[in-house]
A = this chain, B = another copy of it.
Amino acid sequence: MTTTLSASEGAAQHSIRVRRLGIDTQYEAVVFMHKECQVCRSEGFTAQARVLLRSRSAQIIATLYQVNGDLIAHDEAVLSEPAWKRLELTEGESVTVSHPKPLDSLSHVRSLIYGNPLGESAFHAIIGDIVDGQYSDIHLSSFLTACAARPLDQNEVLALTHAMVEAGDRMTWPAGVIADKHSVGGLPGNRTTPIVVAIVAACGVVMPKTSSRAITSPAGTADTMETMAPVQLETAEIRRVVEREGGCVVWGGAVNLSPADDILIRVERAIDLDSEGQMIASILSKKIAAGSTHLVIDLPVGPTAKVRSANAAQALAGGLTSVGDSFGLKTRVLSTDGTQPVGRGIGPALEARDVLAVLKRDPKAPADLRQKAIALAGALLELANAAPEEQGETVAAGALDSGRAWAKFQRICEAQGGMRNPPKSRQQRPLLAERSGRVVSIDNRRIGRLAKLAGAPDEKAAGADLHVRTGDLVERGQQLCTVHADAPGELAYAFDYAEANRDIFVLADS
């Protein structure tokens, strides 16, 4: 164990051998060292200290946990999986440990807290440190709370968006028009993206769609698409697909677009705080970084959706279009019905089944999903001047009904690595109505939780399949939905939850 001194900082750097124990801390970099190891003693590190770790190829800030007993030797450091991966380590290698540099950008956060306006450089410093992993949850939460308590003005939202774009990669495309689509989310099912891409690409507008996997929802677009074709493509492969078919639906994780957004979103979720400025910067930074030029945003509004009032929707829409425009991103926002799930399936394979039914023009395909996909594709075609105003939906419907969208989708899947059939679940059990009456409401969050307890999204075939919509009349004993799972245990467990939360479906006398 060596100790060197960089006089500039006066911070000693200790080199220590690393070990891997497969500890998954999700995003958080954690290092475990023995309480009595010389690094901790001479650096005066205490448990929970933030320490700077350097490997040959990278450096990160990690949280220190100290261990007594013989789990860890005095001369080794155990790293959590995220730390291990970001430092690109191999077993037996060494890292240097030291005190991290003071977080100067925190002074900007405090300045924001105390009500002072923040400029470009301040946001760049903050976002830069965030992407470098310098901010702990405490710092991230403070920044996000300040942005909500002292709402960012238009200039600050611009600066924040710009900083978030700059902090990651940017994609560029040969075509002049790059169509994109975003859904603000909070709505189970609602799997319009594969349909919209198929329609828009079929109409000759380039739409290279990078989508995310589920974080808290039962399925992300990437999870659903993956049941029909490979989605984990490298940038070069993505380009080849788009060049060939004019569209794709791939996982965005392979491309490092607006990495700050991924970090901030997790914390926003924990405080359930969506400040307008943050939402605008979060949505637009990803799209700008993706090289999009024309964007349609699906903004579901409803009591259990993310945006709950028409006023909030209007304010958000105004901000999104004006900020988008100032980046040369033509943006149109559609306020949509967020009162209940869209489509029938909730969970990757079940949603894929609905998507395929709409594309194949199956008469039993969910009408709401078809209509919503047409509305979004139509708006996008109008925005991109690929359809006359007021004619977008007609053009989009034509692409669907003629089978061109379905043909395009199959070619896209082939280009992404080969089309496949969504898996079917091994276990199904229907949830029955306990009384007769009219379906007054369906709880978006609870039906989503039910699908997750059944195993979605990890188990692609798991989830919930809705048989009723609000307004329907049902008889006592009629099926409200079917729960799909792979293991009997998970089926039973999801059912326990459903039985205990009957108000997922609220029935009333008609």
Contacts and interface: CB of A to CB of B under 8 A. Distances in A.
Greatest chain B CB density within 10 A among A106, A142, A493 is at A142
9 contacts: A7-B500, A24-B67, A25-B47, A26-B47, A106-B272, A112-B149, A139-B270, A139-B271, A142-B273
A80 interface: yes
Contact of A32 (B23, B145, B270): B23
Interface string A67-78: 111010000000
A137 B141 contact: yes
Interface in A297-340: none
Contacts of A493: 3, 12, 42
A501 B7 CA distance: 8
Nearest to A34: B22
Interface of A: 3, 5-10, 12, 21-28, 30, 32, 35, 38, 41-42, 44, 46-48, 65-69, 71, 80, 106, 109-110, 112-115, 136-142, 144-146, 148-150, 267, 270-273, 452-453, 455, 489-490, 493, 496-497, 499-501
> Which label, helix, strand, loop or mixed, suits the secondary structure of the A interface?
mixed
Contact of A138 (B5, B22, B137): B137
B44 A26 contact: no
A110 to B, nearest CB: 6
Contact of A27 (B35, B48, B149, B273): B48
B496 A21 contact: no
Contacts of A44: 452-453, 455
Contacts of A142: 141-142, 144-145, 271, 273
A500 B99 CA distance: 15
A401 to B, nearest CB: 40
Contacts of A22: 67-69, 71
Nearest to A450: B10
A47 B24 contact: yes
Given A10-B496, A149-B145, A48 B28 contact: yes
Given A10-B500, A42-B453, A114-B148, 20 more contacts: A10-B499, A12-B493, A21-B67, A22-B67, A25-B65, A26-B48, A27-B48, A106-B272, A112-B149, A113-B145, A114-B149, A137-B137, A138-B271, A139-B271, A141-B142, A141-B145, A142-B144, A145-B146, A146-B149, A149-B149
A24 B32 CA distance: 9
A161 B479 CA distance: 54
A138 B139 contact: no
A65 B80 contact: yes
Contacts of A272: 106, 110
Contacts of A112: 149
A270 to B, nearest CB: 4
A66 B25 CA distance: 7
A330 B407 CA distance: 82
Contacts of A113: 145, 148-149, 273
A46 B114 CA distance: 36
Contacts of A145: 113, 141-142, 145-146, 149
Contacts of A67: 21-24
Contacts of A26: 46-48
